[in-house]
Amino acid sequence: MTQKQAPDDLRYTTEHEWVQKVSDRTVRIGITDYAQDQLGDVVFVQLPAVDDVVEVGESFAEVESTKSVSDIFGPLSGVISAVNEELEASPDLVNSAPYAAGWLVEITVGADDDLDELVGEMLDAGGYGAITSG
């Protein structure tokens, strides 16, 4: 199996989500290239609504492929501040551009949360590569 691309500027979870800090209190979330490859052709993405609350470790969205349905888990706690509405008409963006146009949601953390610390505790590209190359 070839190593799937994992950009160095992102952080990763063991549940195969990527996390990108987009502001002092907001991160963008998606699934990794490895995850979309394992899923196969994505045919439907069920996303939460803006202002929904996300808890770390809790399922908040689903990605459905021709093979299976996979839960997406909160990499951190916060509030949904944006959803990728393009996925409603084009769920295949998750396959074709998992780190770009195929992003899922943005989550804003509370004012008391240290986003740098929360993101810093996640896997870097090397650490994520180690769990997917087994």
| Per-residue pLDDT tens over the stretch 2-36 | 346 799 999 999 999 999 999 999 999 999 999 99
Give CA 88 to chain center in angstroms. 16
What topology does CATH give the domain 11-115? OB fold (Dihydrolipoamide Acetyltransferase, E2P) (2.40.50)
pLDDT of residue 66: 93
What are the structural domain ranges in the chain? Answer: 11-115
pTM of the model: 0.94
pLDDT of residue 2: 38
Q: Is the pLDDT of residue 50 over 60?
A: yes
Do 24 and 52 form a contact (C-beta atoms < 8 A)? no
Do 83 and 91 form a contact (C-beta atoms < 8 A)? no
Report the amino acid identity of residue 6.
Answer: A
- What 3-state DSSP class applies to 91? coil
Terminal-to-terminal C-alpha distance of the chain: 9
| Per-residue pLDDT tens over the stretch 51-82 | 999 999 999 999 999 999 999 999 999 999 99
DSSP output for 18-44: EEEE-SSSEEEEEE-HHHHHHH-SEEE
